[in-house]
Amino acid sequence: DSVGFAIVGLGGYALNQMMPRFGQAGRAHIAAIVSGNPEKLRRVGDAYGVPQDARHSYADYAKIAADDRIDAVYIVLPTGLHADYATRAFAAGKHVLCEKPMALTSADCARMIAAGKRANRKLMIAYRSHFEPYNVEAMKLMRQKAVGDVRLLRTEQSYRMGPTSPSENWRTSRALAGGGPLEDYGLYGMQSALYLTNEMPESISASTFRPNGDPRFAEIFAHVSSQWRFPSGAVAQLVTSYDSAGVNFAHVRGTTGALIMDPATSYSGQKMRIEGGEDREFAPGDPSVQFARQIDHFVDAIRDNTPIITPGEMGLRDTRLIEAIYASAAAGRTVKLAPDGRMRG
């Protein structure tokens, strides 16, 4: 039967992208909603047919524990709140689908994984690109060495944030968003670098930039750039920014050609081609299936006890790499990494 979800946080992404997709496959439904805004609880609750007694404020979050109409919790709150809401969901015996980035520190990620294990419940990080046809096809092409051996990889994820400040927009608050663009948007480039090379970097050197006197960047960075070296000898250059015109691409240059994804990880509109030898364009499917497919994958894991391809361990790995990037930038030197992403020395 259908898996009942509590949606925690009724912000832009929940309302516009994810909630409309929960009913799509008929195997999941919205059983409860949690929000700080009573008017939103009423409006969204009515739109999705959520029972009156399953519409909760954050203060009443604990009530989901006693509600056996709820099997799983989807956490779609500002990042700094993910760890607490996830561990409380596990303590209540629920499965957890948590938005990316998983949390702001590797210690919080480890705490979430441990809580899930203790409760014997599933934890999935909502890394939608793993369910998006272009990226799935790109992973396959790279495994088949469609551009030969990977040598150089570049990713860019940027947009220009309008005037704002930490009190107006959680994405500019250090407590809720960490360093800013890297955790939020650059994470897509990090993920691409990892799943397109199928390697973990052995060293990273990075730099950050924060302009003075700009309220948008009172607490977070404007740009973060990093250079990764992989054991194979491949190198990657990753840049991300909240203060430059919109871009989202991944370029992989191998010994026989290049894979170009631009845009690479959007909600829709992906373009992908291989240059070199015979140029090839790819159109493996509609990118907008990614949202429903990730819900299906999580539902399968809950119902059939199948493995999750984007588990908490993947979020922990990525958070370690983010910590290594900031450590390298702060120290102004290259940081060496163990295969699990932990900094060496």
Q: Are the beta carbons of 238 and 247 closer than 8 angstroms?
A: no
Point out which span in 6-14, 115-123, 232-240, 277-285 binds ligand NAD (CB under 6 A).
6-14
Toward ligand NAD, which CB reaches closer, 12 or 246?
Answer: 12
**Dihedrals φ, ψ of 173, to 5°?**
-100, 125
**Least distance in Å: CB of 265 to ligand NAD?**
8
**Least distance in Å: CB of 185 to ligand NAD?**
9
Residues with Cβ within 8 Å of 6's Cβ and at least 6 positions away in sequence, in order, are 31, 32, 33, 34, 54, 64, 67, 70, 72, 73, 74, 89, 94
Q: Which of 61, 85, 94, 100 is catalytic?
A: 100
Among 108, 132, 137, 184, binds ligand NAD (CB under 6 A): 184
Catalytic residue status for 117: no
Toward ligand NAD, which CB reaches closer, 9 or 186?
Answer: 9
Q: Residue 309: in which H helix or E strand, if any? A: none
Among 7, 30, 54, 76, binds ligand NAD (CB under 6 A): 76
Among 78, 93, 215, 285, binds ligand NAD (CB under 6 A): 78
Toward ligand NAD, which CB reaches closer, 167 or 256?
Answer: 167
- Both structure tokens of 50: 């959520």
Residue 9 in contact with ligand NAD, rule: CB under 6 A:
yes
- Both structure tokens of 112: 């979430």
Among 10, 142, 182, 324, binds ligand NAD (CB under 6 A): 10
Toward ligand NAD, which CB reaches closer, 79 or 270?
Answer: 79
The closest of 120, 127, 125 to 109, measured between CA atoms, is 125
Q: Are the beta carbons of 5 and 31 closer than 8 angstroms?
A: yes
Report how far residue 298's alpha carbon sits from residue 321's, in angstroms, rounded to the nearest whole number.
25
Partners of 208 in beta bridges:
224
What is the contact surface with ligand NAD in residues (CB under 6 A)? 9-14, 36, 76-79, 81, 99-100, 126, 128, 170, 176, 184
Task: Catalogue the active-site residues.
Answer: 100, 188
